[in-house]
Chain A
């Protein structure tokens, strides 16, 4: 059975886009995990 070529191209493009969005979200989540777990207030050192 032959697949309609334009439909296949659209399907591939859709999956590539989805994978790229997913990868970007995954990278962002990893950074967010790092950034959100850092202390909020700055540490200001004062010597005594």
Chain B
């Protein structure tokens, strides 16, 4: 018997209306289940996002699951501390159990609840920022921490692959309606083909997905299944064969301890030129001038000072002014991450001065716009870095001490604690 007659007999056995009812109940039931799931924490023993719980392996954590993680762990009376930013603050090079945010929790004590929602390559306005904003009413005593390069303006709706978090929260009504930010988003998204790297969804596709998710909650539901029960999303780096079906929770945090790497791996001599170019890149457009002929001059002026390049800083100020609603700026701590001294001491004396000026001026500008800010790394040594920019567990411990002091000071200034 061929397949067609069998299918015909099967289809004749189906009651169309009952089947459609089943489709509606099945689909609607999962939407309802997804909504319930969004309020429950499934990231057990959460310390930070690893490659198994990040877009690197096609796992896109939702704002809902991060909010649920906070609610599950926060104790009454605690001040909420959410860490966002990039791989430096995620603790790349710091093994499980020795992540800098664990040290920060120890330094701050039981009065604070610290959550590391940083991702590799994410920026100040990504995941952690969105979650903190969404929890602003539930946990009004909060500090949000993220890092940035000096003079780097943040994207108001998030960075690259992480923008989905902003739009998820936007469509679920979790964000502050801020006209200045909305105008900045519209302006920054004018040139979409340029803003979207190959392979990433266009903003229209991404917004459609998040618009649908406000009704269907498919991200929360299937993320939970993928994490707890059965990995339904294949990703790079996953095991071959059927091994990849293992639930994501069964994968260990793979982060190595970068202090065990030999120095020539941490500071690979063959990368010296490109790393020095990266270090110079942090400051070379911040202090420069143009000759009468219109040629850029990256040197000190006649008075022996580095000339501040206004257009660079004006663009930066415009960016940070609209990156967050005003009410969130005072509780935001921006960390400006200095490069390893291994590279800094290889700059000329003038370049070192320019680098230092850029970081110090960057801190001043963030503060002038209503944020709190500090730089770190000027008193760190080669062992504190696993490469040019990422900290080892030793550097992470130093950062935790400095940030803890700052967070306590902010908590006092924001009247979170009684004098």
Contacts and interface: CB of A to CB of B under 8 A. Distances in A.
Interface string A1-27: 000000000000011011111111111
A14 to B, nearest CB: 6
B14 A42 contact: no
A44 to B, nearest CB: 7
A42 B218 contact: no
Interface residues of A, number: 30
Interface in B1-38: 13-16, 18-31, 34
Contacts of A19: 18-19, 21-22, 25
Interface in B368-419: 387, 389-390
A31 B225 CA distance: 11
B278 interface: yes
A23 B235 contact: no
Contact of A23 (B14, B25, B198, B200): B25
Interface string B47-70: 000000001111010000000000
A48 B203 CA distance: 25
Contacts of A25: 19, 22-23, 26
Contact of A18 (B19, B29, B221): B19
Given A18-B14, A18-B18, A27 B199 contact: no
B233 interface: yes
B131 interface: no
Given A30-B216, A39-B201, A47-B390, A24 B56 contact: no
Most interface-central of B14, B56, B236 (chain A CB within 10 A): B14
A21 B22 contact: yes
A15 B30 contact: no
Contact of A35 (B19, B216, B233): B233
A30 B278 CA distance: 45
B27 A29 contact: yes
Chain B interface size range: 35 or more
Nearest to A23: B26
B212 interface: yes
A41 B56 CA distance: 10
A40 B55 CA distance: 11
Interface string B182-218: 0000000000000000111100010011001000101
Contacts of A14: 13-15, 18
B14 A21 contact: yes
B25 A22 contact: yes
B199 A41 contact: yes
A20 B60 CA distance: 31
Contacts of A27: 26-27, 30
A22 to B, nearest CB: 2
Most interface-central of B20, B25, B29, B218 (chain A CB within 10 A): B218
A47 B92 contact: yes
Contacts of B98: none
B174 interface: no
A16 B247 CA distance: 32
B55 A43 contact: yes
A37 B31 CA distance: 16
B96 interface: no
B298 interface: no
B161 interface: yes
Contact of A22 (B20, B198, B218, B390): B20
Contact of B15 (A18, A23, A45): A18
29 contacts: A14-B14, A15-B18, A17-B13, A19-B19, A21-B14, A21-B19, A24-B26, A25-B19, A25-B22, A25-B23, A26-B23, A26-B24, A26-B25, A26-B26, A26-B28, A31-B218, A31-B232, A34-B219, A34-B221, A37-B201, A37-B208, A42-B199, A43-B55, A43-B58, A43-B161, A43-B200, A44-B56, A47-B121, A48-B278
A-B residue pairs, 6 tightest by C-beta: A22-B22, A26-B26, A41-B199, A26-B27, A37-B209, A34-B218
